[in-house]
Amino acid sequence: MSARYLPGGFSRRAFVKLMAAGSAGLCLRRAWGAAAAPDSGPIDRSLGEIAPAAFSGDDPRRAHRILWDKPAWLAAHGGRYPAPAERVPLAVVGGGLGGLTAAYLLRRHRPVVLEQAARFGGNAKGESWRGMDYAIGAAYFTAPDEGSPLAALYAELGVDRLWRSKPEGHPVALDGRLVEDFWQGETAPAAQRRQFRELAAYFRRLYDEEGGLRYPQIPAASAAERAHVDALDRRSFRRHVESRLGGRRLHPHIRTAFEHYCWSSFGASFSEVGAAAGLNFFAAEFGEILVTPGGNAAIAARLHERLGRELPPGHLRAGALTANVRAVPGGFEVAWEDAAGVLRCLHAKAVVMACPKFVAARLVEDLEPERIEAIRRLRYRSYLVANVLLGRRLAQAPYDLYLLGDGATDGRDVRAAAERQGATDVVFGQFVHPDAAASVLTLYRPLPYDGARPELLAEEAYAKALREFEAQVVEGILPLLHLRREDVAGLRLARWGHALPVAETGLIAGGTVDRLRKPFRDGLFFVQQDNWALPAIETATAEAFHWAPRVEKYLAG
């Protein structure tokens, strides 16, 4: 449904084919030892009944102060980076799902993991209220193939004991009424329902690879699969969907559904997204979707917990903002500012960069011109999340619900349409807390246009977002669900300024992703969803599984 739900990202079939040969030597076994410091975990359970009136999510102010003017910052620290005070085999820069997964697979090398935020998890963070964990970012993921490395990882972490399967169907709200299954054509007159069912059947067949259809596997596991992905990537998702109708115009409700889906999943319009990425995500909506308490933060929390038990004390470093990475004889020097503001440095034989590419471009010295140009091609988009705390249970609710407004969005003026729509989708937290006496509604509001990030840093940004969310909740969401104002116990907001790399047409086919993800100076590896400009947990974990054996080989050599 949404990029925070991360529905496609990496094909379950591709995971089996791509990883079977390369992951056999990695550390997939149960880990025990001393527990990690709990206050740096991805789920914040310290908020109590009343949370601060401020954004959670990301807080880039410290990073901006350092990375946007490194000479001035370095001058304040004496004008030079200190000599390395420790030598380690492996340093991981970034503690999101990509970095945590890579560190876990390579944990026998005792990596040091540097995470600039106070909590690990990256975009997969969560919070808690009255014993209910809820997502403030990524919320759900696809079921892995039985026997795949990812399934083994989930089982080892115990994630398979946490999840529930999302019910079938695609409920929406249109013109203030609930529709149980959009793709049955229930919002259209009987004579116009064929188009809905025809497209739904196409996506189901594509997901199951029936009738000669081939699901676009990203990352591609073979030359033939890459050629298929490249061919799709040369046209937009919208053009591809329209072509399936043989020249017939999309019904306005279908066009609106795809537009809102692309805003939410990719931070981009239906016309911007490449067909390979769009099909990869949307076809997976017709497969099995898994949900855990706290969303994908539950997976990040399990990884963080296990790493804390196995790694030496102090190797998981929250509040450690990396400032510079440079190649030196025998490896790399990594300089960072710790949580107390002290500048530190270590020497690592190998480095995994698990941070956004535009950040990596400011950290790593002497990157190749072609990589810099590829990074400049990436665009990033933002979104907001509101968690509505309800002091009562809902009598009946789906797991998720798309908000289609009046069903007339066409994407010609995306910014105006997105501002008019507000939140596009709602997740019902009660689904994963069936015994709770209360509930949480998680509203996702994409900002699918350039220029939103600076606006989210403005002094008045929180108050403005709060007013707009409150208005949509009171005027639209509560009446839709037969709730009253007094049922709302609170509203908590999260901000994500650069969470979504835009999967625009041509990035894969044009070779941009190949320049983004190749190793630097043999021993510096890039592991993150940006590698494929595809914002999904499956992308991040797939890249960790792909590159971990190569890191092993480099360290052994």
Whether the CB-CB separation of 503 and 405 falls below 8 Å is answered with no
Q: Which two tokens stand for residue 186?
A: 């229930």
Helix, strand, or coil here: 356? coil
- The confidence score (pLDDT) of residue 14 equals 45
Whether the CB-CB separation of 506 and 378 falls below 8 Å is answered with no
Distance CA 266, CA 280 (A): 12
CB atoms within 10 A of CB 236: 22
Distance CA 71, CA 85 (A): 22
Q: Pick from 336, 367, 259: which is nearest to 91 by CA? A: 336
Helix, strand, or coil here: 204? helix
Strands 43-44 and 126-129: parallel
Whether the CB-CB separation of 315 and 112 falls below 8 Å is answered with yes
- The confidence score (pLDDT) of residue 2 equals 36
Which helix (DSSP H) or strand (DSSP E) does residue 321 occupy?
strand 321-328
Q: Pick from 5, 515, 508, 476: which is nearest to 218 by CA? A: 508
CB atoms within 10 A of CB 64: 11
Whether the CB-CB separation of 334 and 346 falls below 8 Å is answered with yes
273 DSSP assignment: B
Distance CA 536, CA 9 (A): 5
Q: Which two tokens stand for residue 426?
A: 């709602």
Give the CA distances from residue 193 to residues 160, 182, 189, 200, in Å, rounded to whole numbers and listed in that order. 38, 10, 7, 11
- The confidence score (pLDDT) of residue 459 equals 94
Distance CA 230, CA 510 (A): 8
Distance CA 107, CA 119 (A): 20
Following DSSP, what letter does each residue of 128-190 receive, concatenated?
EETTEEEESS--EEEPPPTTSHHHHHHHHHTGGGT-EEPPSS--EEETTEEES-GGGTTTS-G
Q: What's the start-to-end Cα distance of the chain, in Å? A: 43
**Residues of the chain scoring pLDDT < 50:** 1-25, 29-38
Tens-place pLDDT, residues 140-197: 899 998 899 999 999 999 999 999 999 888 999 999 999 999 999 999 999 999 999 9
- The confidence score (pLDDT) of residue 247 equals 81
**Phi and psi dihedrals of 13, rounded to 5?**
-65, -40
- The confidence score (pLDDT) of residue 23 equals 45
Q: Which two tokens stand for residue 106?
A: 């390579």
Tens-place pLDDT, residues 492-502: 999 999 999 99
Distance CA 55, CA 117 (A): 14
Q: Could you tell me which residues come within 8 angstroms of residue 60 by beta carbon, excluding any fewer than 6 positions away?
A: 457, 497, 498
Q: Is the dihedral of CA 141, 143, 145, 147 positive or negative?
A: positive
Q: Could you tell me which residues come within 8 angstroms of residue 340 by beta carbon, excluding any fewer than 6 positions away?
A: none
Count of residues making up the chain = 557
Q: Pick from 280, 302, 308, 468: which is nearest to 384 by CA? A: 468
Whether the CB-CB separation of 295 and 139 falls below 8 Å is answered with yes
Q: Could you tell me which residues come within 8 angstroms of residue 460 by beta carbon, excluding any fewer than 6 positions away?
A: none
Whether the CB-CB separation of 400 and 372 falls below 8 Å is answered with no
What domains are there in the chain, each with its CATH number? 33-41+58-140+294-377+508-556 (3.50.50.60), 164-292+379-501 (3.90.660.50)
